[in-house]
Structures are given as C-alpha cells and as structure tokens.
C-alpha cells in the first residue's frame, strides 16, 4: 500500500532488517515476554490512524501519549524499542523509521513465538503527533460486543476469518485480573467452564485486584508462549479468558472459523499471517506525509532533559564571565597609563655599585 515496498532499506541501510531481527532475538533470550509486546505494539499502533509509531510518542507540550489510554493498560517494554533503535543508529544514523521497527519487530517476534514467517514491506514514515482521543474509538475493548469488534477491524479492511485469526494472538501472553474479575465475581459467568473458573479464582482471589500488582492468568496454560491453535481448542472447551474470546464461539459469523482453526494449526497460521500483513499496511504514512525518521527518545519527542538545561545554563554563564573578564583585561592594557616605576633609593644604588665593583665619584 502507498509507497511501501519489500527491502525498502536495501540501499540506505542494507543490514536494517537483520539488525532488528538479531536485537529481537537477543531481547527474547533475555526477556521472553518482549516478543508478545512487539505483537501487541503492532495492533495498538496500526489500529489508531496508521502504522506510524504514534504509540511510541511520550506526553510532551500538553499532548498526551496514546500510552495513557485505559486501552493501553498492561503494555510494557517500550524501553526495549530504544535498544533496537540504538543498534540501528550505530549502523545507519537517522535512516530507519520507528514505524518500520514496530512492524518488523512484531514480524520477528511472531517467529520466535512459533508463528509463521511474514514477508513485510517497509518504508513507513513516523507520525509527528499522538492521537490519544482516537484510541477508544478504534481499539476494541475486551468486553465489547462481537458486532463492534468486527466493525472496527472491517473498517481497516480485515475480513471475518482474518479477525478470528488475529484474536488468536491471545494464544500467548497473559491477562491481568482487573480484566477478568467481572467474569468471576459476584457470580461466575455461566459461559465459563466451572473447573476453569475455580482455577481463575485462585489466580484472582478478590473482586477488586490492585491494578499495580502483578496478578494475572496466562491466556493459554498448555502452551503459554507458543502462538498456536490451542487458543481455539480452549474456546471450544469454554476456557476463554476474556468476554470477547468466548463470544467468538457463540457468534454465528465467527464460530465456524473457530472450529476450523481449532482443527487445523496450519490454516490458523495462514490466516494469521494474512491478517497481520493487512494490519501492518493500514494507512501508512509515506513520502512527505510523516517524518522520515524520528529518534523517539531524543529532544524532539520528549523535550530537553531539565538537568541538561541547568548544566547548559551554568556553562553558558561561566563562559560569559570568563570572556567578559578577558575583554576587560585587554581593554585595561590598552587604555590605562603605564604604571610609574618607584624611584630607587640612594642606599640601594650604592649597594648595587659596590656589588659590581664600581664607585661613584667621591666615594
């Protein structure tokens, strides 16, 4: 779409995609959950306006970050996007857009999670601003109706089976108790398997969990870090964690695809790859529409560091003081009359002559 193309950086930064891949692997080996974060980043970035890295912008000059939205609850690992960016900057300064980093890190993260390899085009530009007000109008909530969820995805060109496949991303990662307890308290949701509900109560023992506490349940207990069709098998057993998950089996437009994906992992992977590709190409900024490259952690994204400002001011004042004093010294040297030498006393002159063996007449 637009001016996106395969191997966009072939000339400007030939190793760009390999650098991203190696960084994603390194981060995965240190922090396995980063791979899940990259997939979620793609969804949250591309659903809001465009795949333009607006998600990564922090609050600045009164414009609130999209990360402030309730829809972004539980998102993390943004600091590791900077790690990937740093590696690229060393090789090709100010060349690879953050929007492409979001998409390519998701692609490589999916492979590490056992999902399909997706050939993605690149060439996205970065947004100059964030769109917090748009987030709730575009990102579906976990307890929205299936009709609303379908319409949100369909508005960016993803069909029903693609939507069912995309929700299969819930095969990995975890859900915080804050988003679960309404299905457990005061009474258990009748669509939940009773034994599974008891397990979830063990994970989330109170109806009002602390949002700051790490209280959660894995999306899939059997293969929690593998992107596979176990998610759909669990749905058919009434073991869907979120309301939206379980609705996939009860809605007549989506349930046939749930059954098909539960029966065939290859079919799920094919549909997932197709849907992720469509998502990654949603309305990209290309050409002159966005910024060619944004270093998301420098001054243009979040303003000058206050400590740096103080240091610069102090150094500036010191420099002015030193230069001013030097100018005054030069001026004084040129304009002030030379100091008169103090007359030498007769006694001192006599001593000097005696030292040299010379005497004045009459001595």
Q: Which residues are annotated as a binding site for heme b?
A: 170
Q: Among residues 149, 129, 126, which one has the least CA distance to residue 139?
A: 149
Distance from C-alpha of 92 to C-alpha of 86, rounded to nearest angstrom = 10
Alpha-carbon span 122 to 131, nearest angstrom: 22
Distance, CA of 165 to chain centre: 24
Q: Which residues are annotated as a binding site for substrate?
A: 140
Query: d(Cα 97, Cα 26) in Å, to the nearest integer?
Result: 21
Residues 6+ away with beta carbon under 8 Å from 245: 167, 170, 231, 235
297 alpha carbon, distance to own chain's centre: 10
Place of tokens 């974060």: 37
Tell me which H or E stretch contains 38. Answer: helix 34-47
217: phi then psi, degrees, rounded to nearest 5: -130, 145
What's the CA gap between 168 and 245, in Å, rounded? 9
Which residue among 31, 44, 176, 182 is the active-site one?
44
Tokens coding 272:
């997932």
Establish whether 238 is a catalytic residue: no
Closest to 44 (Cα-Cα) out of 280, 272, 283? 280
Centre a 10 Å sphere on the Cβ of residue 10 and count the other Cβ atoms it contains: 12
Token output for 186: 């005061």
Q: How many CB atoms lie within 10 A of CB 247?
A: 21
Residue 24 token pair: 């994603």
List binding-site positions. Answer: 45, 48, 52, 54, 66, 140, 170, 220, 223, 228
- C-alpha to C-alpha distance for 77 and 70, rounded to whole angstroms: 17
3-state secondary structure of 94: coil
* DSSP 8-state assignment for residue 175: E
Classify 226 as helix, strand or coil.
Answer: coil
Q: Which residues carry out catalysis? A: 44
């Amino acid at each position: 779409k637009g001016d996106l193309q395969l191997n966009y950086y072939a000339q400007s930064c030939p190793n760009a995609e390999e650098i991203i891949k190696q960084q994603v692997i390194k981060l995965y080996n240190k922090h396995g959950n980063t791979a899940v974060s990259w997939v979620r980043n793609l969804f949250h970035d591309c659903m809001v306006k465009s795949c333009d890295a607006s998600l990564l912008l922090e609050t600045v000059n009164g414009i609130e970050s999209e990360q402030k939205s309730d829809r972004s609850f539980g998102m993390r690992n943004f600091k590791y996007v900077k790690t990937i960016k740093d590696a690229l900057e060393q090789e090709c300064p100010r060349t690879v857009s953050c929007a492409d980093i979001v998409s390519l890190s998701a692609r490589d993260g999916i492979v590490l999670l056992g999902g399909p390899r997706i050939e993605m085009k690149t060439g996205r530009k970065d947004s100059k601003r964030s769109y917090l007000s748009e987030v709730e109008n575009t990102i579906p909530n976990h307890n929205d109706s299936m009709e609303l969820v379908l319409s949100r995805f369909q508005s960016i060109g993803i069909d029903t089976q693609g939507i069912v496949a995309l929700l299969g991303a819930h095969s990995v990662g975890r859900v915080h108790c804050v988003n679960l307890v309404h299905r457990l308290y005061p009474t258990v949701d009748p669509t939940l398997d009773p034994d599974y509900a008891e397990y979830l109560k063990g994970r989330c023992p109170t109806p009002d969990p602390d949002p700051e506490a790490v209280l959660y349940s894995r999306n899939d207990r059997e293969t929690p870090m593998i992107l596979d069709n176990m998610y759909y098998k669990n749905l058919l057993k009434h073991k869907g964690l979120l309301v939206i998950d379980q609705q996939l089996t009860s809605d007549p437009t989506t349930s046939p695809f749930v059954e098909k994906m539960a029966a065939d992992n290859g079919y799920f992977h094919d549909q997932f790859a197709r849907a992720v590709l469509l998502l990654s190409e949603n309305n990209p900024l290309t050409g002159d529409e966005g910024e060619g490259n944004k270093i998301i952690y420098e001054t243009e994204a979040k303003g000058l560091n206050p400590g740096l400002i103080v240091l610069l001011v102090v150094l500036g004042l010191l420099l002015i003081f030193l230069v001013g004093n030097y100018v005054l010294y030069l001026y004084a040297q040129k304009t002030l009359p030379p100091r008169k030498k103090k007359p030498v006393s007769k006694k001192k002159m006599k001593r000097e002559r005696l030292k040299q063996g010379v005497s004045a007449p009459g001595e």
